[in-house]
Amino acid sequence: MVELDPTFIQELEHRPKPALIEAQGIPIIDLSPYIASSPSNPQSLDDLVDQIRDACTNWGFFQVINHGVRLESREKLHSASKRFFDQPVEEKKKVRRDEANPLGYYDTEHTKNVRDWKEVFDFMVDDPTVEPASYESDDEETVEYHNQWPQHPAELRKICEEYVKEVQELSYKLLELISLSLNLPADRFKPFFKDQTTFVRLNHYPPCLAPDLALGVGRHKDSGALTILAQDDVGGLEVKRKTDGEWIFVKPTPNALVINVGDIIQVWSNDTYESVEHRVRVNSTRERFSIPFFMNPAHYTVIEPLAELISEQNPAKYNGFNWGKFIMKRKHSNFKKLDVENLQIFHFKKPDERKIDDVVSRVENLSNKKE
Ligand SMILES: O=C(O)CCC(=O)C(=O)O
Ligand SMILES: [Fe+2]
């Protein structure tokens, strides 16, 4: 019997199943009609937009190939990340995050109040990034966050910055495609990202002696606009299939990036697209590395359903909320185990919508129990 610190142990119903379900996985979309420098033919662009719409509607997740991010920059970052995490913990803790600076290294993240089997290193894409000083709604003070770079490996900073430049270009293209897929102009979302609060996380999941009890990241939805994830060939990411709630393994595909729409796009689209739950399983033999790029708007952005996507027949399902305050509150509860439920976009649903969601989730629970 392996002794596992009880803070890592998932409730029975949330533990990973012994067998992986690969099934028909999330779609793979070839972005070449949009990424290529030569103007593409309109038919292939329409096809691409249709594929994006289907993937966002049916899965909330997809993989992209021919995305313009060079394999070389990605591999360089994976190996620099490995060099960083391979160091003794005392060395890594020289850049550890604390309540004053949320950036850098830490190994105590909790998701839904259970500790994740992972260690991470976070940095902002814009350095410095301006965020609210507190989550109190009447406090207008802001602070500047600065990245903390380690001394070793010295090249980590440059490699991260190079990678980010390429992924950032892709992030705008994906936003454009998503916008077109909602029948909006390609640049509809762009202004929200002028003072963006986008950040990148280097994830390291060490081998775990009790992979049946713990998770690398517990079930969650990404709270930002869009996530672009590079994963290595080990695999571990699982996505909750919308049709039946089954956890589906995302098969690592060479040179593909995994994309998912986050809570913000769910609200902007007034629930046309949903931010889908996912989690990470760990294994007892191989460490895993992954690198999510979390694309987030400026802190002062009020997140609400877009005017073009609501009507009398389809009224706004959410009250607007301030992105910076929302994320501050979330960070506060992720930092340590709290007894309260995490803040979710669900809490901004208009009262009638919350009632409808409650009924739907009760029916879903009933039908899941029958299996
Ligand atoms: O490592 C992964 O595959 C996904 C990580 C993730 O979902 C997250 O950090 O939000
Ligand atoms: Fe995630």
Helix (H, G, I), strand (E, B) or coil at 16: coil
Q: Which atom in ligand 1 lies closest to the alpha carbon of residue 290?
A: 1
Which sign, positive or negative, has the C-alpha torsion 180, 297, 221, 63? positive
The pLDDT value recorded for residue 334 is: 60
Cα–Cα distances (Å) from 298 to 209, 271, 295, in that order, read 41, 22, 10
Burial 245-279 (b: 16+ CB within 10 A, else e): eebbbbebbeebbbbbbbbbbbbbbbbbbbbbbbb
Average pLDDT taken over every residue of the chain: 91
Length of the chain measured in residues = 371
Residue whose CA is at the smallest distance from ligand 1 atom 8 = 292
- Chain segment 2-44, per-residue pLDDT in tens: 578 999 999 998 998 877 766 678 999 999 989 876 666 778 9
Averaged pLDDT for residues 180-208: 98
Helix (H, G, I), strand (E, B) or coil at 143: strand
Q: How far is the CA of 221 from the centre of ligand 2 (A)?
A: 6
Check pocket membership of 222 for ligand 1, CB cut-off 6 A.
yes
Note the ligand closest to the C-alpha atom of 231.
1
Residue 366 has pLDDT above 80, yes or no: no
Q: How far is the CA of 38 from the centre of ligand 1 (A)?
A: 34
Task: Please provide residue 118's backbone torsions phi and psi, each rounded to the nearest 5 degrees.
Answer: -165, 165
Tokens of 135: 């989550």
Q: How far is the CA of 132 from the centre of ligand 1 (A)?
A: 25
Closest C-alpha to 10, from 118, 119, 111: 111
Check pocket membership of 111 for ligand 1, CB cut-off 6 A.
no
Check pocket membership of 196 for ligand 1, CB cut-off 6 A.
no
The pLDDT value recorded for residue 150 is: 98
Residue 185 has pLDDT above 70, yes or no: yes
Averaged pLDDT for residues 216-225: 95
Q: State pTM to two decimals.
A: 0.94
Pairwise CA distance, residues 329 & 323, whole Å: 10
ipTM of the complex: 0.99
Lowest mean pLDDT among 37-51, 128-142, 285-299, 327-341: 327-341
- Chain segment 83-129, per-residue pLDDT in tens: 999 999 999 999 999 878 889 999 988 888 889 999 999 999 999 99
Check pocket membership of 225 for ligand 1, CB cut-off 6 A.
no
How much of the chain exceeds pLDDT 70, in percent? Answer: 92
Lowest mean pLDDT among 13-22, 92-101, 288-297, 358-367: 358-367
Pairwise CA distance, residues 120 & 280, whole Å: 14
Check pocket membership of 267 for ligand 1, CB cut-off 6 A.
no
Report the Cα–Cα distance between both ends of the chain, in Å, rounded: 30
Averaged pLDDT for residues 329-350: 74
| pLDDT bracket for residue 339 (50, 70, 90) | low
Residue 214 has pLDDT above 70, yes or no: yes
Q: Which atom in ligand 1 lies closest to the alpha carbon of residue 231?
A: 3
Check pocket membership of 181 for ligand 1, CB cut-off 6 A.
no
